[in-house]
Amino acid sequence: GMDKTKLEMLQNLAEQGTGKSASDMLPFLMSAAARGKSNGLQFTSDEISTVLEVLKMGKSPQEAAKLDRIVSLMKMIR
């Protein structure tokens, strides 16, 4: 039931984020958020959580935890 434009953007993010280290994810996610906002897209917390879960797939537990910390920092910045 997600908007087609959002779904396409999320799929692209998941594809582009695959293989990136947790350290590379912060600038990647910040850039993606800025692009979405400039295109008038707003994502729900559930949609963002889904993307993050996809991005954590295949990462070590340490990298997944680091990604969680990065996301927490981003939330504090907002």
> Which tens digits make up the pLDDT trace of 17-71?
777 887 787 788 778 878 888 988 887 777 777 777 877 888 889 988 988 887 7
Q: Please, which pLDDT band fits residue 11 given cuts at 50, 70 and 90?
A: confident
- Residue 6 has which token pair? 């959002």
pLDDT band at 78 (very low <50, low <70, confident <90, very high): low
- Global model pTM greater than 0.75: no
Phi and psi at residue 43, to the nearest 5°: -110, 145
At residue 60, the pLDDT reads 87
Query: Residue 1: is its pLDDT beyond 80?
Result: no
